[in-house]
Amino acid sequence: MSRRRRFNYEKPENVTATLKRLLGYVRDRIGAILFVLLLVILSSFLTIYGTRLIEPIINEGIIPLIGQEITTESLTPLIRLLIALAITYLLTIISEYLVGKIMVIVTNNTLNKIRNDLFTKMQKLPISYFDEHTHGELMAHFTSDVGVIREAISDGITSFLYSSITIAGIIIMMLRYSVVMTFVVLLLLGLMLLITTLFGKKSMKNFTVQQEAVASLNGYMEEMMAGQKVIKVFVHEDKTKQEFSTINETARKASTKANIYASIVGPVSNNMSHINYAVCSVLGAYLCIIGKMNVGKLASFLQYTKNISRPLSRITQNFNALISAIAGAERIFKVIDAEEEIDEGKITLVPLKFDLDNSLLEAEKRTGLWAWKKPDGELIRLRGDVRFIDVVFSYDGKKQVLNNVSFYAKPGQKIAFVGATGAGKTTITNLINRFYDIQQGQILYDGIDVREIKKDSLRKSLSFVLQDTHLFTGTVMDNIRYGKLDASDEQCIKAAKLANANEFIEMLPDGYKTVLTGDGANLSQGQRQLLSIARAAVADAPVLVLDEATSSIDTRTEKLIQEGMDNLMAGRTVFVIAHRLSTVRNSNAIIVLDNGEIIERGSHNDLLYQKGQYYKLYTGQFELD
Amino acid sequence: MKKILSCTRKYLPFIILTPIIIMVEVLLEVNIPLIMGKIVDYGIPSNELGTVLKLGGNMVITAFLSLMCGALASIFAANGSIGFGSELRKEVFNRILNFSFENVDSFQQSSLLTRLTTDVRFIQMGLRMTMVMAVRAPFMMIAAATVAYGINRDLFIVFIIAAPILITAIVILGRKAMPLFRYMLTKYDGLNDRAKEYLTNVRVVKSFVREDYEIEKFKEINHELMTSSIKVESLLVLISPLMMLVIYATIIAILWLGGNQIMIGTMRTGELISFISYVGQILAGLLMLAMIFLNMVRLKGSVDRINEVLNTESSIVDGDYEGTLEDGSIQFDNVTFRYESSSKDAIINADLYIRSGETVGIVGSTGSGKTSLVQLIPRLYDVTSGSVIVGKHDVRDYRLADLRKEVAMVLQQNVLFSGTIKENLLWGNENATDEEIIEACKVANAHDFIMSFPEGYTTNLGQGGVNLSGGQKQRICIARALLAKPKIIILDDSTSAVDTQTDSAIRLALKEQLKDTTTIIIAQRVASVMDADRVVVIDNGEIIDVDTPENLLRTSEIYKDIYYTQMEGVEL
């Protein structure tokens, strides 16, 4: 499941700090981990010991009996040794199993924690963070970065330890048998290591080339899948096939090359160990002939030669896995350490009720009325009075998007923003709910600077219907209920009726229980907008922001939902952005924006009378010739 | 399956040679413990270094040859499997490009992409596994077993007992693990979907202050993923100890039985040592086979998904008529059309004649069938009954390229590709001159904003490039279609994001510059069709009224309705 990024040797920046932090995730399982380490040490000793037992079995258990009469008594040493071997093996197996089992639990719990931390953190990042990073980039933290950490924890650490101890142990044992032979073995192993490292380096280089080629191939395919219909309309099939063929061929060549270098290491090191074995047996035979060794010892020694090559090639793999894991963890920690959305506000939103003497009181349940509660307990009734005073804003600190924008919306008023794309309409609404913070000026909400209001409270007081409707996986009902989690089915259906969505919902295969997947891919854009209006209706917030909320709904349907929309807007402060000027006509004030500045404002009739930009826009629609 | 296998053609030599070389490698490898045993049994007791050297030399040569074979097999396997993968990907991609709109609708974009990437890669790995491991494992087992049998028949019984035990255990484990594994994968996908969904919906989440709710939901699935992972992995960690158990038990049994044989002189020590080496080879081969089997089962899903694409035949194929459109006239003759996936007719008994060079507007509410109607003109879909006659021939008679080159359609959901603005415009006509491009962009009201970019027409779009507004994109799409110099141009709600002023300017330019081009405009805004020669009113798939806009205002209830909802109060 974790996509392997074997040859992805990104260099981590601060190994010790990252490692320490990673260890922090396993702190509460430190006992289990220590136990595992103990078991690993034990099982590497057991393996070495098991191999060592072969020699006495042959030399003491079997060879002395050749040609002798076999009695139960003479067999005793052999039986004893075999039992010892059996116990050794059994202990190895048990400890191997325990290590595996414990590490499964430790690994999964650790990853669970890391994922939770990562996701929780992502909830706290400001919108600008999501503007600056692509979805692919952020998703990679959940998939590949967590994947490399998984590999390192589940297998890397234990097998690194196991391999190191085994190698050290085997070398010590070998030395006890024959110093000369050990020296030869180490020489040959060094050669083997050199060759595989060389291949590894080659393969790493080619792997980078391959990754680029594959990325560009995938990018091309993604684009063409999205543009399939355009390809057909312009009869571009053959040209696309040709282009694809070229990119595909480049990727094939790069992949083949990278793959050869990566896969050749296996047979090379495998057979190198055979050569090693051959050389050792010749040397060993020679030593036997000159009487410096015996057959049993040689058998054990040769077994060691065989056993040492596997941990040796594994240890390099483990090391690389560990490095990638640390790099992966570093990338994840970078997100976790990213600056959170600033929320210095202390004023909260509370439901409101009136005392007998008409003084304000905080209610326990929703009353439909709201108040701002200051830290000192003072309540200010929420009326929905929003004022922008000389607001200056820029997304990147370079290009000014809003320039000295001032306007006000009195409680219950409907304010419309009109202007060309990029004039700053959506930006204004994103400032009211503090998706972004302004550089200069002030935004007042019921006389309170929005920065003094806790972000959660501020946003709860505003309902948004956005231009790009996004829905969630789940039923239609769940999606409407997103506006208010404790809404009853009846409330949701009422909201759907208000948005005129009830009709099409009931036509769906399972009505309100129809499951939407892939951002509501099975619904038309207009239907999605109706759903998002229903979602906002159920939220029942005192201030409503409609950003092109009906752009994909045809005018007849829009007329049908007009009554519902009027009901929804009644008594609330409403901000409307619409291309369709008929939608904004009955606003209390229409604000015409151009290049981040307000160029006209007034009621529909005022503006028409002024015969300015609005007049032109409005009559532009009526222009017959 | 036949279609998938046919993709091996180009790299067949590699694909055939790989298993052959692997077999040679195995034969060489199997010899090694045998030679080793001989060194112990004959070389050492002979007390002659010459014999040992000869045997050792044999072994080095064998190992070296085996190394060469292994390396060669790696090279061939990489060439064969990756070559096959790239052929398969090409086959699938080309097949997708030949899809009709109906086919395109029936597959999700993301699912097609998964097939092109993950599924192709899995099948490619499957081939590699078949070429290498599926040949190596059984062949190694057979070869090792033969040699082991040759060394000592009696000891061979141990294998006959051990092998079935190991196989049974692995099969039981595999069977238990598979469903758990699949379940775990759905949780894994679910977790990724949750995270992805959050990323696309981040503004909704934040504006409804649902962060805690999202975290709750994420934690829930994350926990499910953890428990299901632990469940399946706990089973999988059994495999290794289980295998060790069997191997170790076998070794002990062989040591005991072999030891006894050595004592009575029916076996030699070296033989026993090589025999033990074969234990590992044979049982590891078994394990490898089991793994291959499990992987092959997993592969089936990928194979099915690829086959689904390869077996999809486009219903829309070239006609026999080799000429092109005679003019820009369009005639719908009692046309009824229904989408394959739908149970309701999208167009019902439509009759309509559009003169060559006429400008026709189409209005109607969402889902009334406007787009469905015009999509039949470039034969993006085929009629269910009746006929569509374009340029005096039935659309089904033309070769698709001939028809579509003369019928330019600006789609509702349009796409620009990464590359420069100019490259995108050239999609309309690859041979267009710069003058033609500028001319088309002026008509589409795109020239001015394009020139406002520092790099003008060579401005890069897409990743790292300029972000165009919706209206700007639409204008480039219109220019792109204009460059094709078609006889018929269809604008399917193509100016919805363009402001009204620009919209009317575009319409004016179209009217002036494309007098001979039949123009069909679908629009939400009634203003967009008010200067058309005629307007078609569609409701619920039926053509209700066709007349001049002025007449419709008097006669058509629906048109009046639409008109007044949009124009209400404008009369000054």
Please state the φ and ψ torsions of residue B389, each to the nearest 5 degrees: -110, 120
Kindly determine whether residue B73 and residue A279, on different chains, have CB atoms separated by under 8 Å.
no
Asked if pLDDT for residue A625 goes beyond 70, the answer is no
Separate counts of helices (H) and strands (E) for chain A: 21, 16
B467/B462 Cα distance (integer angstroms): 7
Calculate the CA dihedral of residues B135, B141, B143, B147 and round it to 10 degrees: 170
Of A228, A235, A579, the CB nearest to B404: A235
Asked if pLDDT for residue B276 goes beyond 50, the answer is yes
Query: Taking Cα atoms as reference points, which of A426, A418, A385, A404 lies closest to residue A607?
Result: A418
Write down how long chain B is.
572
| pLDDT, position A9 | 45
Kindly determine whether residue A282 and residue B53, on different chains, have CB atoms separated by under 8 Å.
yes
Written in H, E and C, the secondary structure of B485-522 is CCCEEEEECCCCCCCHHHHHHHHHHHHHHCCCCEEEEE
State the average pLDDT over residues A307-333: 82
List of chain A residues whose C-beta atoms are within 8 Å of the C-beta of residue B508: 625
What are the Cα distances from residue B192, in Å, to A108, A359, A469, B136? 16, 50, 21, 37
**Considering the domain boundaries, does residue B295 fall inside one?**
no
Q: Note whether B48 and B140 are same-domain residues.
A: yes
List of chain B residues whose C-beta atoms are within 8 Å of the C-beta of residue A86: 248, 252
Q: Note whether B389 and B407 are same-domain residues.
A: yes
Asked if pLDDT for residue A8 goes beyond 50, the answer is no
Q: Which residues does A599 contact at the CB level (< 8 Å), separation at least 6?
A: A592, A593, A612, A613
Q: Note whether B448 and B309 are same-domain residues.
A: no
Element containing residue B359 per DSSP (H, E): strand B359-363
Of B29, B263, B472, the CB nearest to A65: B263
State the average pLDDT over residues A501-520: 83
Q: Note whether B5 and B139 are same-domain residues.
A: yes
Q: Which residues does A2 contact at the CB level (< 8 Å), separation at least 6?
A: A143, A144, A146, A147, A148, A150, A151
Asked if pLDDT for residue B465 goes beyond 60, the answer is no
**Considering the domain boundaries, does residue B290 fall inside one?**
no
The more confidently predicted of residues A192 and B47 is A192
Assign B18 a pLDDT band (cuts: 50, 70, 90): very high
Quote the minimal CA–CA distance from A47 to chain B in Å.
11
State the average pLDDT over residues A409-434: 86
**pLDDT, tens only, B69-118:** 989 998 999 999 999 999 999 999 999 988 888 888 778 777 788 888 88
Q: Note whether B242 and B124 are same-domain residues.
A: no
**Considering the domain boundaries, does residue B274 fall inside one?**
no
Question: Across-strand partners of A464?
Answer: A545
List of chain B residues whose C-beta atoms are within 8 Å of the C-beta of residue A617: 499-501
Of B90, B241, B415, the CB nearest to A97: B241
Question: Residue A412: left (phi > 0), alpha (psi -120 to 50), or beta?
Answer: left
Query: Taking Cα atoms as reference points, which of B31, B44, B27, B40 lies closest to residue B267?
Result: B40
Determine which of A412-421, A442-451, A608-617, B559-568 has the lowest per-residue pLDDT on average. B559-568
State the average pLDDT over residues A404-414: 91
Give A69's DSSP letter: P
- What's the start-to-end Cα distance of chain B, in Å? 71
Q: Structure tokens of A590?
A: 């229409």
Q: Note whether B387 and B519 are same-domain residues.
A: yes
| pLDDT, position A415 | 92
Q: Note whether B120 and B194 are same-domain residues.
A: no
Give A3's DSSP letter: P
Question: C-alpha angle B560/B564/B567, rounded to 5°?
Answer: 135
Question: Across-strand partners of B362?
Answer: B522, B536
Max avg pLDDT among A183-197, A273-287, A499-513, B533-547: B533-547
Max avg pLDDT among B207-211, B252-256, B436-440: B436-440
B490 neighbors B408 (Cβ within 8 angstroms): yes
B511/B516 Cα distance (integer angstroms): 9
B397/A531 Cα distance (integer angstroms): 44
Q: Note whether B245 and B394 are same-domain residues.
A: no
List of chain A residues whose C-beta atoms are within 8 Å of the C-beta of residue B415: 226-227, 229-230
**pLDDT, tens only, A559-597:** 777 777 887 888 889 999 876 676 788 888 999 888 888
**pLDDT, tens only, A144-158:** 888 888 888 887 888
Query: Taking Cα atoms as reference points, which of B289, B261, B258, B288 lies closest to residue B274?
Result: B258
Q: Note whether B513 and B537 are same-domain residues.
A: yes
Residue B352, Cβ neighbours under 10 Å: how many?
17
**Considering the domain boundaries, does residue B325 fall inside one?**
no
State the average pLDDT over residues B407-436: 87
Q: Note whether B377 and B477 are same-domain residues.
A: yes
**pLDDT, tens only, B500-548:** 778 888 888 888 888 889 999 998 778 788 889 999 999 888 999 999 9
Q: Domain range spanning residue B262? A: 153-266
Q: Note whether B411 and B509 are same-domain residues.
A: yes
Q: Note whether B125 and B232 are same-domain residues.
A: no
Q: Structure tokens of A338?
A: 């990213």
Kindly determine whether residue A278 and residue B94, on different chains, have CB atoms separated by under 8 Å.
no
Quote the minimal CA–CA distance from B376 to chain A in Å.
12
**Considering the domain boundaries, does residue B281 fall inside one?**
no
Asked if pLDDT for residue A329 goes beyond 70, the answer is yes
List of chain A residues whose C-beta atoms are within 8 Å of the C-beta of residue B414: 230
Residue with tokens 């080339």: A209
Residue B137, Cβ neighbours under 10 Å: how many?
23
**Considering the domain boundaries, does residue B288 fall inside one?**
no
Q: Which ipTM was obtained for this model?
A: 0.82
Q: Structure tokens of B349?
A: 């008994």
- Structural domain tally of chain B? 3
Preferred mutation among B199, B548, B564 to probe A, highest tally of A CBs within 10 A: B199
CATH number of the domain within which B348 lies: 3.40.50.300
A86 neighbors A54 (Cβ within 8 angstroms): no
**pLDDT, tens only, A176-226:** 888 888 998 889 888 888 888 888 788 778 888 888 888 888 888 888 887
With the C-alpha atoms ordered B465, B466, B469, B475, is the resulting torsion angle positive or negative? negative
Q: Structure tokens of A525?
A: 């854009």
**Considering the domain boundaries, does residue B158 fall inside one?**
yes
A391/A396 Cα distance (integer angstroms): 16
CATH number of the domain within which B29 lies: 1.20.1560.10
**Considering the domain boundaries, does residue B277 fall inside one?**
no
Mean pLDDT of chain A: 84
A2 neighbors A155 (Cβ within 8 angstroms): no
